[in-house]
Amino acid sequence: MKEKIIKFLDKFFDAEVDAFMSRRMPDIDEFNKRLEKMNSFISVSLENRFGLIPQTKLMVDDFYERAQKAPPCKKRFLFRIDEFDTKNGEKLFKCFVSGSNPRLKTVFNLFIIKVIDGELKIITKFSLSDNGMGSGYLWYSGGGDENYEHKVNGESLINPEAFDIKVSEYRILEPENETEEMLIYNQE
């Protein structure tokens, strides 16, 4: 299953870059078509939660002129996949990835993936943050299936109890130079 998850995420990362790059062109129909393809990898509750929403009108001309001068978007990095069995017999996958258009190989997002109607789907995403405090990094909810989060001091965080039995762990790529991220990467 590891290889299926890697291929699935690679296709999603390509579709995400394609959607971001098409946003730079003054063609609403083409952009919306590429965004729809990107959204085909995620659950309905997570659609349009990746920094892009369907467009109904063009931006000002200046936007497209500036966008054409920007460097191309880069694909995310995949660092690790943790596989879980749930009490109800489902498989869940925690996938540690970089943010979109990464400059460095750093962990920023955590995607939860499962099979829905015979297809892999990203159902929830979390972002790693210290919430502006300078320490104490936690996984904050970025939307999706609320069964995998809980409230702590009013914040929606990942719920560790939502993941029952860890079956396997696949380390794919080490993050660069971030102490907190290496602790997360090496965490059992």
Q: Where are the domains of the chain?
A: 2-69, 78-186
Mean of pLDDT over the chain: 91
User: What is residue 177's predicted lDDT score, i.e. its pLDDT?
Assistant: 63
Query: Pairing relation of β-strands 91-97 and 109-116?
Result: antiparallel
Buried b / exposed e across 35-52, counting CB within 10 Å, b at 16+? bebbbebbbeebbebbeb
pLDDT of 109 strictly over 70: yes
Tens digits of residue pLDDT in 5-51: 999 999 999 999 999 999 999 999 999 999 999 999 999 999 989 99
Q: How confident is the model at residue 178 (pLDDT cuts 50, 70, 90)?
A: low
User: What is residue 127's predicted lDDT score, i.e. its pLDDT?
Assistant: 93
Q: How confident is the model at residue 175 (pLDDT cuts 50, 70, 90)?
A: confident
pLDDT of 136 strictly over 80: no
Tens digits of residue pLDDT in 5-18: 999 999 999 999 99
Radius of gyration over alpha carbons of the chain, in Å? 17
pLDDT of 164 strictly over 90: no
Structural element, H or E, at residue 78:
strand 78-85
In whole angstroms, give the CA distance from residue 40 to residue 16: 11
